[in-house]
Amino acid sequence: MSDIINVETNLAINFEHIYVGYGKKTILYDINLQIKKGNMVAVIGNSGAGKSTGIRCMTAQIIPQNGKAYTSGISVKNREDVQGMIGYVPQLEYVSLYYDFNAIQNALFFGRNYGIKDEIIKQRCQEIMEILGLSQKEFLKKKIKLLSGGERKRVSIMIGLISNPEILFLDEPTTGLDPHLRIEVLNFLHKINKKYGTTIMIVSHDLECVDYCDQVIVFSEGVLVDSRKPRNCVESLPNKGFGYEITFEELSIEQEEILSSIKKLIYFLHIGRNKFKLFVNSNTDFVEIVQILIQKGFKIKKYNKMDSTFLDYFRIMSKYKYPAISTKMKHDAKIKQPKLNGEN
Ligand SMILES: Nc1ncnc2c1ncn2[C@@H]1O[C@H](COP(=O)(O)OP(=O)(O)OP(=O)(O)O)[C@@H](O)[C@H]1O
Ligand SMILES: [Mg+2]
């Protein structure tokens, strides 16, 4: 493979043994990641796990310490070429928008930077704002500082798309929006993905975005611990993700500890005030568990079998699996890491 161009690929992102950090400090260890062009991808993980660092490397804002990283087939070492092919919507709109300009003026400012003609910029601005549900003239001519948070977010997404990028990266596009708008923004991004075939990468703590995505990637403590279709994640749980939601009359703190001692309970999650979700193997009859619970003094109000969501999966993995997986992966990656330039 050439060091600069990775032509034969239909991959939007191709990372091979990537280590990324700041100065000599490494934050991401031995990342191997392939993302197909045209996919919509959720990038998730706890705070400090390395999501933004990963996105900064994909968008050529930082160059990896080791390994090969290609975005849209171009090595991220070629910052200008990579950045000419992508759109980036930062978490905070004031970084990407001029508040004294209106939406059209912002579009013209950023579009001209890409050498696009004014007529095309205006046409594109109108078209994207229509998909985003904000194409009325009076809105497009209002200064950004007079718009609501959700309206600014949509202008910021329009600016990210003004150059017709192959890939759009969005850092926390739904954070701080009301529940209705959070879903609307995801609906808009989905439409853009379908209409233009734009690859979309969404960094988010709001896990409802996973529902819209073809692929979910999970960072934990600087390593990549999952990269799969969301449905495959859920189906990897016991019983293909079917668990039992159980509501108790009341609960004491000790009762959670008692649940931990029941061997046939593979996993349990506290999902509401007096409510748990319990997972057993497919060969365990749940009635056995119910009897054990009654013997141990639990007062059961009701229970029923239910499918799981990605949130259930993520919570289970974070509680039972990711910590050990990431410690092992990071340990192995440190042993393999080539020495950095100038390091003894
Ligand atoms: N510019 C920087 N210089 C040095 N260390 C940094 C820098 N930016 C981030 N880090 C460190 O890298 C680690 C990963 O940070 P990163 O911002 O990638 O996490 P994140 O997953 O995006 O977290 P969050 O969900 O809170 O945004 C953290 O320990 C952070 O302190
Ligand atoms: Mg971040």
pLDDT for residue 1 is more than 50: no
pLDDT, tens only, 252-297 = 878 888 999 999 999 999 999 999 999 999 999 999 999 999 999 9
pLDDT, tens only, 111-138 = 999 999 999 999 999 999 988 888 888 8
Please work out whether the CB of residue 47 comes within 6 Å of at least one atom of ligand 1: yes
Q: How, if at all, do strands 25-36 and 11-22 pair?
A: antiparallel
Q: Is 142 helix (H, G, I), strand (E, B) or coil?
A: coil
- Distance, in Å, from the CA atom of 283 to the CA atom of 251, rounded to the nearest integer, reads 28
**What predicted TM-score, i.e. pTM, was given to this entire model?**
0.91
Looking at residue 150, its pLDDT comes to 83
Closest ligand 1 atom to the C-alpha of 55?
18
Burial class (CB in 10 A: 0-12, 13-18, 19+), 34: middle
Q: Is 94 helix (H, G, I), strand (E, B) or coil?
A: helix
- The residue-averaged pLDDT of 102-111 equals 95
pLDDT for residue 343 is more than 60: no
Looking at residue 8, its pLDDT comes to 53
Looking at residue 3, its pLDDT comes to 58
Looking at residue 149, its pLDDT comes to 84
Looking at residue 5, its pLDDT comes to 61
Closest ligand 1 atom to the C-alpha of 45?
21
Distance 47 CA to ligand 2 centre (A): 7
Half-sphere exposure (Cβ direction) of 126: Cα atoms closer than 13 Å? 9
Half-sphere exposure (Cβ direction) of 69: Cα atoms closer than 13 Å? 25
